[in-house]
Amino acid sequence: MIFMNELPTTKRKIKTIHNAITDFHASTYADIQYSPPQEIQEIQTQLLLNHIEYAATHSPFYKILFRDHAIDYRDIKTMADLSSVPFTRKSDMTDKSNDFLAVSEKDIVDVCLTSATTGSDPTIISQTQSDLARLAYNEEVAFAMAGITDDDTLLVCAALDRCFMAGLAYFLGGVRLNARVLRGGAGSAAQHWHLMKTVNTTAIVGVPSLMAKIARYAMENGDDPSEMGVKKLVAIGEPVRDEQLNLIPAAQTLEKQWNAKIFSTYASSELATTFCECQERRGGHLRPELIVLEIVDDDGRPVPTGKTGEVVVTPLGITGMPLIRFKTGDISYIIETPCACGRKTSRLAPILGRKNQMLKYKGTTIFPNAIIAALEGNSKFYGGYVEAKKNDDGTDRIILHAAMNTSDATMEWLQNELRAKIRVVPEIILAGKKAVDKKVYRFEKKRKRITFFDLR
């Protein structure tokens, strides 16, 4: 009976949340993050059931999937029932892009392209008006989580054109937050720095390696980025913390260079949702009104809380191309311990690496980016890349090619550094700076840096 009494309240709350999300001009939003966990779960479950009903009745892909697996969406009544729906893979979206469209083409107002896994055709993600409003809401609340307010001038260092979703999301979110937004876009370090000097900037959203380049450019030109007045760095695309949530050396350097706090985020075009760190910076908070998160093992079974596995997401409320149980290929874990900020939502730990890049080495698993991240930011280390090969016995062979800045940075120094930071010492080959640059930046004129070559 208590449940019956509470139902109208939940429904009312969901309606308020829905209105706040889909009304681009909403000035306030229903904040359920501080509600008791049971209430959060109730609301999230109802939103999930709405989402599943919508996908099962509007998306050709899910209509077929549910029919082929003899699933009646009305039988899904709890969060646990979600596991009866098969996973959706990136390859499904590449192969059957049109089947995911749950509205008529007339309702599409924006088309995003994301890179395909195999490097062939990109995946198309079509968005409706309501999806764009949702995207803006998502980024508004993510920025707010990082402490960005309408007093901030926010530099967006991500492409806003060429059908990228990220830059668009940051722009819309910043606007909705009523911050002053600078569309730096995919400019060079020099362009960004000059823009910042023209319009005093207090926050930056971008890839950490680009923030480092901007700082380096400033210093090389006699300026001091720490005096710019930037207080928040919202890091996208690359993790800035290790498995224990400690800042990696490169991120520590960034904080010093800018005299600012760095906030890690996790998002992708398929997620259309951001996990952003709060002021406590102990993992990215989940927004229960926007996404359902699962972590699964190699067999697709849920892992216990705190154990690492593949990130699987169901972004809620998307109307153009709804997804259910999308396998991201990213590896992380969930943090359920209470956060000192008072939010009652779970958090996503840093992304440790891509599932297909996981290396098995001397009885442990390691990701190539962890090897590079352990060294980057150290002035003795110039740069490097990791190669993986297969041994005859099926185990992985890991070779680090490293170029050093100083002569005292010997092979032994590298081995000690890696042993201390990641407890694993791969084979090491000392290389010249030019050779490393040639390999790492061989695509797209230094824009894209590749530090892992899988030869297995």
Token representation of residue 324: 């259910």
Q: Which stretch binds Zn ion (CB under 5 A): 334-342, 377-385, 387-395, 445-453?
A: 334-342
Least CB distance to Zn ion at residue 285 (A)? 6
**Shortest separation between residue 139's beta carbon and Zn ion, angstroms:** 18
Residues 98-137 that bind Zn ion (CB under 5 A): none
Sole window of 33-41, 333-341, 375-383, 422-430 interacting with Zn ion (rule: CB under 5 A):
333-341
| Cα distances (angstroms) measured from residue 337 to each of 34, 114, 147, 334, 415 | 14, 34, 22, 9, 35
Q: How far apart are CA 212 and CA 210, in angstroms?
A: 5
Question: Cβ closer to Zn ion: 343 or 421?
Answer: 343
Distance, CA of 58 to CA of 164 (rounded, Å):
25
Q: At its nearest, how many Å lie between Zn ion and the CB of residue 280?
A: 5
For residues 272-311, which are near Zn ion according to CB under 5 A? 278, 280
User: For residues 151 and 280, which CB has a smaller minimum distance to Zn ion in the complex?
Assistant: 280
Least gap, CB of 332 to Zn ion (angstroms):
17
Size of the site for Zn ion (CB under 5 A): 5
With CB under 5 A as the contact rule, which of the stretches 160-168, 198-206, 332-340, 438-446 interacts with Zn ion? 332-340
Nearer to Zn ion, 23 or 280 (CB): 280
**Nearest CB to Zn ion, comparing residues 339 and 388:** 339
Pick between residue 283 and residue 384 the one whose CB is nearest to Zn ion: 283
- Which region, judged by CB under 5 A, interacts with Zn ion, from 167-175, 331-339, 391-399, 425-433? 331-339
Query: Residue 113 or residue 341: which is nearer to Zn ion going by CB?
Result: 341
Whose Cβ is closer to Zn ion: residue 280's or residue 297's? 280
Question: Per the structure block, which two tokens stand in for 30?
Answer: 């229903």
Site for Zn ion in 7-46 (CB under 5 A): none
- Shortest spacing between CB 334 and Zn ion, in angstroms: 14
Least distance to Zn ion, CB of residue 265, Å: 14
> Which CB, 139 or 270, lies closer to Zn ion?
139
Binding mask 338-357 toward Zn ion (x if CB under 5 A, else -) reads -x-x-x--------------
Quote the least distance from Cβ 147 to Zn ion, whole Å. 11
In the complex, least distance from residue 449 CB atom to Zn ion, rounded to whole angstroms? 31
State in angstroms the smallest separation of the CB of 127 from Zn ion: 29
| Cβ distance to Zn ion smaller for residue 79 or 341 | 341
Residue 404 neighbours by CB distance under 10 Å: 23
Q: Which residues bind Zn ion (CB under 5 A)?
A: 278, 280, 339, 341, 343
